[in-house]
Structure 1
Amino acid sequence: MATITHLETVEAPGAMLTRSGARALAVLRIATGFVFLWAFLDKTLGFGYATPAERAWINGGSPTKGFLSSLETGPFTGFFHDIAGAGWANWLFMLGLLGIGIALILGVGLRIAAVASALMMAFMWVAEWPLASGSSNPVVDYHVIYAIGGVVLALTYAGHTWGLGRWWAALPLVQKNRWLI
């Protein structure tokens, strides 16, 4: 049986992150960042995957109008229809995609990226309202997984492996404002 003295000498979970674990988190960070960056690029330039060229932002399309105006279920449908295509909504959404994507790929500002991605994913979850939309899982869908993933990446300093996280954390501005890590 473990004694209290023995338990006090056991390493904390954070101290047990292996090199392979750190690398796996780095791969997750970069891949997740690419998901956000790709969405930004496709909506901006219209590569033809989710956004055809004629609906690209640079061709006068709206990154929010199609998605938000097509929502059919949930208690906030009216609100999302009202902001669909609004200039401020387009800019906030696109800057969020770009900022989160770059931060994750580079491994810098992961706390801000975690909060931003969690908020963005929460809004998108509420917009799609999987509780009534016929989703295969009405509670935990990809929005929830991306939100949790962003938080995990920030809390595990995933930017320190194969990223600029260590350099970023050593900057005087970041040292004075730890929330920027």
Structure 2
Amino acid sequence: MSTIARHTPTTGQDVLAEESAAVPKSQAFRYVAAATRLSLGWIFAWAFLDKLLALGFATGRDPETGAVDTFGPAAWINEGSPTLGFLQFGTKGPLADFYQSFAGAAWANWLFMVALAGIGAALMLGICMRIATVSGVALMLMMWSAALWPENNPFMDDHLIYALVLVLLLLGKAGHTFGLGRAWESLHLVQRFPVLK
């Protein structure tokens, strides 16, 4: 004999209660996940700022002399290209020609910089973790595939590790600790469009 299950409508609060049950209970895990989220967010945000302003870390430093030209011609605000150097000179392997074909293109520069800023801001704030994770994983996979094969390992490098960490942070609801994730997810708009979680 079978039973007929009745569908009980759920409210936004019911959904939040169910999802909060999935949040890891260990305080140590939550703190480490939050620190990891903030750290990884800072890596993306700093890459954006360095390329935007040529602050002399990856952008704006003369490789021969080591001199730093802050806010110089390498800065994106001064028409420098944030993608040209890596895509033209840092790519190798089977996809190098593909990536080199759009090195320095305006659309590639904009897409790259918007991704760095958006992923960095989302991670630092703990909001839009789904979009940040998908975008970050896509960016990391593209950067990994642009430099195949890694020098120190047959296939694994830091880009793949960052991609895995992004997924772990999403699944562990790292935006809820030391972030705005819990408040963000309670917004009506976010409940209506869960992709914004």
Match of 1:69 among 88, 100, 117: 88
Match of 1:111 in 2: 130
**1:126-177 Cα shifts (integer Å, max 9, x gaps):** 001125xxx1123121100111111111111100000000111001111011
1:92 counterpart = 2:92: no
Match of 2:188 among 166, 169, 172: 172
1:142 counterpart = 2:165: no
Q: Confirm or deny: 8 A CA contact 2:23 2:173 kept in the other structure.
A: no
Change in Cα spacing, 1:34 to 1:68, as seen in structure 2 (3 Å) is same
Q: Confirm or deny: 8 A CA contact 1:71 1:81 kept in the other structure.
A: no
Aligned residue identity for 1:147: A
Report sequence identity in percent: 47
In 1: Cα distance, 2:91 partner to 2:188 partner: 48
SS at match of 2:101: helix
SS at match of 1:83: coil
In 1: Cα distance, 2:23 partner to 2:116 partner: 32
- Quote the offset at 1:54 in angstroms: 2.7
CA RMSD of aligned residues (A): 1.5
Pick the structure with more helix per residue.
Answer: 1
Q: TM-score, normalised by structure 2?
A: 0.81
Match of 1:152 in 2: 168
Aligned residue identity for 1:60: E
Match of 1:34 in 2: 42
Change in Cα spacing, 1:165 to 1:139, as seen in structure 2 (3 Å) is same
In 1: Cα distance, 2:194 partner to 2:91 partner: 42
Mean Cα deviation higher: 51-60 or 27-36 = 51-60
- Runs of 4+ in structure 1 off by over 3 angstroms are 13-17
**1:53-102 Cα shifts (integer Å, max 9, x gaps):** 33110111100001000145211111111110000000000000000000
In 2: Cα distance, 1:91 partner to 1:15 partner: 35
Change in Cα spacing, 1:72 to 1:27, as seen in structure 2 (3 Å) is closer
Aligned residue identity for 2:168: V
Q: Confirm or deny: 8 A CA contact 1:112 1:180 kept in the other structure.
A: yes
Aligned residue identity for 2:31: R
Aligned residue identity for 1:90: N
